[in-house]
Amino acid sequence: MKRTCFTLITTLTLYSMTQAQPIKPPKAAIKPKELITNGHKRIDNYYYLNERENPEVINYLNAENTYLDQVLAPVKELQEKLFDELKGRIKQQDESVPYKEGTYYYYTRFVTGGEYPIYCRKKGSLQGAEEVMFDGNAMAKGHNYYQIGGYEVSDNDELAIFAEDTVSRRLYTLRVKNLKTGKLYAEAIPNTEGGSFAWATDNKTLFYVRKDPQTLLGYRVYRHTLGTNTKADVLVYEEKDNQFYMGLGRSKSKKYITIGSDHNGVATEYYLLEASKPTGEFKTFLPREKGHEYDIVHYKDKFYVRTNWKAENFRLMEVPEGKTADRTAWKEVIPHRPDVYLANMDVFANHLVLGERKAGLTNIRVINQKTQADEYLNFGEPAYVAGIGYNPDFNTNVLRFGYASLTTPSSTFDYNMDTKAKTLMKEQEVLGGFDKNNYVSERVYATSRDGVQIPVSIVYRKGTKKDGSAPLLQYSYGSYGYSTDPGFSSARLSLLDRGFIYAIAHIRGGQEMGRRWYEDGKMLKKKNTFNDFVDVSEYLIKNKYTNTDKLFAMGGSAGGLLMGAVINQAPQLYRGVVAAVPFVDVVTTMLDESIPLTTGEFEEWGNPKNKEYYDYMLSYSPYDNVEKKAYPNLLVTTGLHDSQVQYWEPAKWVAKLRTMKTDNNQLLLHTNMEAGHGGASGRFQALKEIALEYAFMLNLVGERQ
């Protein structure tokens, strides 16, 4: 690897290479707004930035984008090189491993230069004629953003429901296509939940979830008969509690249409309707009860139930059809284990498959339904992720599962559950001379300030010195019980090959170490998440993986909140921080129930209308705790149409930091004016955002090659 050293220019009065005048950052106008909650007064100078249609706001966001381009002009070529590099590792003409459902084999493929997948199928065998169901590239024409939010094929294989989003607000329009003729039906139902729809067995009745366009919460389920006026659709269920999220689908057995309402960490409730009786009434599987969460899978004449009833880490039970609401009829299949978290399950005619977590790693357990003999699949790496794949065929003895590690590209396996034969169906092809043997992964544990052992997954290129001289990027999320597993990234190679070490901190708030790991990182224990991240940083420095002049941190969404809290707590540890779509204005957002996601997340963060939670949230909210002190170099990204974290949170945060921080480090805001929470929709366009983040960090350690 060739290195080029240069003098870093990090002051905000940067001089470009082509002009003598200093580059001045934009300043948002100060317009104080008084906010009073629980008798406490706050002054928000930038509250008005939430006016999405206000030309002044749009001009400010555009000015920030221009400023970022000016500041990073010296590494524009590097950014372009990185983009080409990232793109160059991707096999442009590619195809997924087909799966069999009914009489068809389904798969997606990409064509050279294509941004979007093409959804295809073949009847009878893989030697059959290809049928193109949806050509994402053709459908995306004329749109700056495009996403197909799932599809569902009817029982007679002739029709398909699909959903499309052309704005990136996750408000999908539901359409129906005749796969035999290619005809699109007249139905175009707006404001629906992508992926939450189901066919009845009559091939003409479908069910879908309607979303509230303001809160973006799915709250109503409708029945529609193909070819009729959508205004006549029948409301079959309405969720009255706006703290619940709702989904809809068809059971693997195809017998039931299922509505699921879930309040994360609080309660679950399912409603069932036999798919052969579409005009019937949905019946409750088991009424919701605070503190009880459960999942169900239908199997022959019974249901398997994954439940936390008297089992913090969940256990598996079974119950006959018709007796589901009677918990005395529930029979235990797999007991609760304090050291194993039961994460998910799948069922086959002769086998039961469980996804479990132990010691922070994922495991797949296969149980023979007849003999009850079981086994765990062996993966043989110190840090990896394995998961049950999509297995729609109930009558097969072959399990499809996925595997990856920090050094092994994403792989698809078929496992014969009778013969124990494991077949690699496909390993993600990484172009550009990639050799997994050139990289090393480690699993270490950092001790937190309260004595808890925090797992850390690490990867670097062989030959990288662990003497404190290497730059290191530390990543984490740490919320909602979402586990950040040590998977593979071809993009990450651009950092590793330039001497970076990459570390994932498996901090509390995730669920890597079981349900307690999550419970100890939410609500009034949320600060454990931030403390764990900082303590891992100090461990990495102490053990000479890096030093404070070369340590970088990155997180997005709730992980962006983590970034904001961390640099308020320990800014001196980091050279630079990337906060992607960061949730940083915690108190104000959680007080506004009209904002998407707010009401459903009171059990994650707390309800600030309650003074105890208000005071606690206020004590760590990044926006409210900006101080007059030095901060690290900071790159903040957002999307104008973000439905999860509204763009004004990062915009306000950056505006406030500009007036408060005492350093001369870079403070950059990039707003994608055409996208939302997930960034650009195309497979290559998204790489431009990664290239921007990498160029920002590489620039700060003197790397322009």
Which residues are designated catalytic?
557, 642, 677
The values of phi and psi at residue 4, to 5°, are -125, 125
Amino acid at 68: L
What tokens were used for 629? 């002190």
Alpha-carbon span 530 to 455, nearest angstrom? 15
Residue listed under structure tokens 């108190």: 587
Alpha carbons within 13 A on the beta-carbon side of 231: 0
Cβ–Cβ under 8 Å, residues 589 and 595: yes
Cβ atoms of residues 435 and 516 within 8 Å: no
Left (φ > 0), alpha (ψ -120 to 50) or beta: where does 537 sit? Answer: alpha
Could you tell me whether strands 159-165 and 147-153 are parallel, antiparallel, or unpaired per DSSP bridges? antiparallel
DSSP β-bridge partners for residue 177: 160, 184
Q: How far apart are CA 376 and CA 363, in angstroms?
A: 7
Q: What are phi and psi of 430, to 5 degrees?
A: -110, 115
Instruction: Identify the helix (H) or strand (E) that includes residue 695.
Output: helix 685-700
Contact between 415 and 399 under an 8 Å Cβ cutoff? The reply is yes
End-to-end CA separation in angstroms for the chain: 9
DSSP string, 548-600: TTTEEEEEETHHHHHHHHHHHH-GGG-SEEEEES----HHHHHH-TTSTTTGG
* Residue 301 β-bridge partners: none
Burial (CB < 10 A; 0-12, 13-18, 19+), residue 405, is buried
What is the rounded distance in angstroms from the CA atom of residue 35 to the CA atom of residue 43?
6
Q: Are 160 and 133 in contact (CB under 8 A)?
A: yes
Q: Which amino acid belongs to residue 552?
A: F
Q: In what order do the strands lie in the sheet with 315-320?
A: 294-299, 302-307, 315-320, 331-334
Q: Which two tokens stand for residue 95?
A: 């195809």
